[in-house]
Amino acid sequence: MRIPPLIAPSLLSADFMRLAEELDFLKNAGADAVHVDVMDGRFTPNITIGLPVVEALRRETRLVIDCHLMIAEPLKYAVDFVKAGADWVSVHQEADMHLHRTVTAIKNAGAKVGVALNPSTPIEVLTDILDDLDFVLLMSVNPGFSGQAFIERTLDKARRLDALRQERGASFFIQVDGGINSANAQSLINAGADCLVAGNAIFKAPNPTDALREIKARMVG
């Protein structure tokens, strides 16, 4: 059973001087979640947002806060992100040698838990953790920056993950993140994606509300 398609705009492309207004815009334009890209300069070649910002967002919004932890040793911080107000937390398989421990800790802290895969990481690495997950995040760019080009092969990866989900009768949802816009949203939904993350295509558009609605309008199977 698939959930209705969700859009989770990435705050990384927002105006950081005006986050409260950006949250209002997202709510009014029909976003389902706000995607927060946390980077540590170790797992990713960039440093972005941390715990105090997530706490501030939580005070300001009732939208689902989706924290994508692109950090080394995620177990050190994952539960703190839940305590700061994250509703969903995803960690990278490549960054964690004890993924089951981290996934269990996030779940026990009360958030939905996801595992993210880099473009080069095969879905098979999830075989023995899949049943514990609420979602899988397929990266369609290499983690680090917004505004990169969509890696087309992700479509096939989503199809294979969707097939695996059906085969196992599993209920995790599939999130895809990176280079998403109104031109590729529909093919992603058709390939089995349930939740699309988009940064530049929304926040850098001449009219962000129209851009978000346009992507959402394409998110039908």
Binding site for ligand DX5 (CB under 6 A): 10, 12-13, 35, 37, 68, 141, 143-144, 146-148, 177-180, 197-201
177 scored as a contact of Zn ion (CB under 5 A): yes
92 scored as a contact of Zn ion (CB under 5 A): no
d(CA 221, CA 142): 26
Q: What is the DSSP string of 181-214?
A: -TTTHHHHHHHT--EEEESHHHHTSSSHHHHHHH
Minimum distance, C-beta of residue 36 to ligand DX5, in the bound complex (Å): 9
Amino acid of residue 43: F
Torsion sign, CA atoms 132, 168, 88, 174? positive
- Catalytic residue (choose from 32, 37, 96, 134): 37
- Looking at 32, 37, 96, 194, which residue binds Zn ion (CB under 5 A)? 37
Whether 37 sits among the annotated catalytic residues: the reply is: yes
Task: Select 40 or 134, whichever has its Cβ closest to ligand DX5.
Answer: 40
d(CA 121, CA 105): 23
Report the residue closest to Zn ion, judged by CB.
68
- What is the 8-class DSSP label of residue 42? S
67, 38 contact by CB (below 8 A): yes
Whether 156 sits among the annotated catalytic residues: the reply is: no
Q: Would you tell me how many other CB atoms lie within 10 Å of the CB of residue 12?
A: 22
| The pair of three-digit structure tokens given for residue 200, joined into one six-digit string | 């530049």
Task: Select 35 or 165, whichever has its Cβ closest to ligand DX5.
Answer: 35
Minimum distance, C-beta of residue 108 to ligand DX5, in the bound complex (Å): 25
| The pair of three-digit structure tokens given for residue 179, joined into one six-digit string | 């280079």
- Catalytic residue (choose from 32, 40, 66, 177): 177
Minimum distance, C-beta of residue 23 to ligand DX5, in the bound complex (Å): 17
Q: Which of 14, 10, 81 is nearest to 51 (CA)?
A: 81
Residues 6+ apart with CB under 8 A from 210: none
| The pair of three-digit structure tokens given for residue 143, joined into one six-digit string | 């983690």
Task: Select 61 or 200, whichever has its Cβ closest to ligand DX5.
Answer: 200
Minimum distance, C-beta of residue 193 to ligand DX5, in the bound complex (Å): 14
40 scored as a contact of Zn ion (CB under 5 A): no
177, 140 contact by CB (below 8 A): yes
Write the binding mask 44 to 83 for Zn ion: x where contact by CB under 5 A, - elsewhere. ------------------------x---------------
Task: Select 75 or 201, whichever has its Cβ closest to ligand DX5.
Answer: 201
Task: Select 79 or 141, whichever has its Cβ closest to ligand DX5.
Answer: 141
State the catalytic residues. 37, 177
Judged by the rule CB under 5 A, the positions of this chain that interact with Zn ion are 37, 68, 177
